[in-house]
């Protein structure tokens, strides 16, 4: 893949110091930070020009929660339209989204990295580029199958997994509050394996503009009421973010594998 976009958090960008690239045989030729003007607002991007053998590659990084220089935009206020428009017009080949999620099912414990293959969005919030004229987009298969197949093999090898399930259904919660224990029990009954507050809105817009998209799921915590031995355990935003940032090794393996294909 020649031009790959990553949507993720600050912890991921902080790792981009050259070592993850060097370990994969990628040489950093140049870096650049810039803002893209879109019809929906400005979007800050960072790009890495890379060399792999005789091929030049480009990695474009977008901080999902960018907020006038800070990484703290509340999830319900993220400007997904501007973000996806900016990446589409950066002529990237595909987008890899990195998502911290709450773990609901027992076979996806905190610390594991998996893949989204479906999502459920019952928030009632419309996310589309087609506000003026009706255009209906199929999302039967919301994520790029070729990307997922490639990433699955990397995740299995990197995490020492064989037959364990790696594909999960992401339940979109409105936020910004974490869910109640009762809500999590209902989500599980309705088919949600993990829960988060952002990713499906990106996936919808990427389908509308025919941009290949895959989502890595970092299990950062047990969802409300699912903590073994303490179903009343409180959730902490700081603890959740810190745990997600400690699990970025498999994520970087996925990123560099796509760039070196």
pLDDT score for 232? 66
Residues of the chain with pLDDT under 50: none
Which of 211, 185, 195, 183 lies closest to 120 in space, CA to CA? 195
Which of 175, 213, 224 lies closest to 73 in space, CA to CA? 175
What percent of the chain stands above pLDDT 90?
Answer: 77
pLDDT score for 227? 87
The pTM assigned to this predicted structure is 0.92
Which of 48, 66, 36 lies closest to 5 in space, CA to CA? 48
Give the integer Cα–Cα distance in Å for 139 and 86: 22
Question: Radius of gyration over alpha carbons of the chain, in Å?
Answer: 18
β-pair type (113-121, 213-222)? antiparallel
pLDDT digits (tens, 9 = 90+) for 157-199: 999 999 999 999 999 999 899 999 999 999 999 999 999 999 9
Phi, then psi, of 10 in degrees rounded to 5: -65, -35
Cβ–Cβ under 8 Å, residues 102 and 220: yes
pLDDT digits (tens, 9 = 90+) for 67-100: 988 888 999 999 999 999 999 999 999 999 999 9
């Amino acid at each position: 893949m020649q031009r790959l976009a990553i949507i993720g958090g600050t912890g991921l960008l902080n790792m981009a110091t050259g070592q993850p690239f060097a370990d994969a045989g990628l040489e950093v030729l140049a870096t650049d930070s810039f803002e893209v003007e879109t019809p929906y607002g400005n979007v800050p991007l960072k790009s890495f020009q890379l060399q792999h053998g005789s091929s030049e590659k480009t990695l474009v990084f977008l901080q999902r929660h960018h907020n006038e220089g800070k990484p703290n935009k509340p999830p319900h206020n993220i400007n997904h339209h501007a973000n996806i428009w900016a990446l589409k017009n950066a002529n990237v080949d595909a987008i890899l989204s990195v998502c911290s999620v709450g773990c609901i099912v027992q076979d996806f414990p905190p610390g594991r990295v998996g893949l989204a293959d479906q999502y459920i969005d019952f928030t009632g919030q419309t996310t589309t580029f087609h506000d003026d004229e009706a255009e209906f987009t199929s999302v039967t298969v919301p994520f790029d199958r070729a990307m997922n197949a490639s990433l699955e093999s990397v995740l299995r090898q990197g995490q020492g997994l064989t037959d364990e399930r790696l594909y999960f259904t992401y339940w979109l919660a409105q936020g910004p509050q974490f869910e109640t224990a009762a809500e999590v029990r209902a989500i599980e009954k309705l088919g949600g394996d993990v829960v988060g507050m952002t990713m499906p809105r990106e996936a919808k817009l990427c389908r509308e503009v025919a941009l290949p998209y895959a989502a890595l799921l970092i299990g950062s915590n047990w969802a409300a009421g699912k903590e073994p031995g303490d179903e009343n355990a409180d959730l902490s935003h700081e603890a959740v973010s810190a745990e997600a940032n400690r699990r970025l090794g498999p994520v970087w393996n996925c990123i560099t594998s796509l760039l070196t294909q």
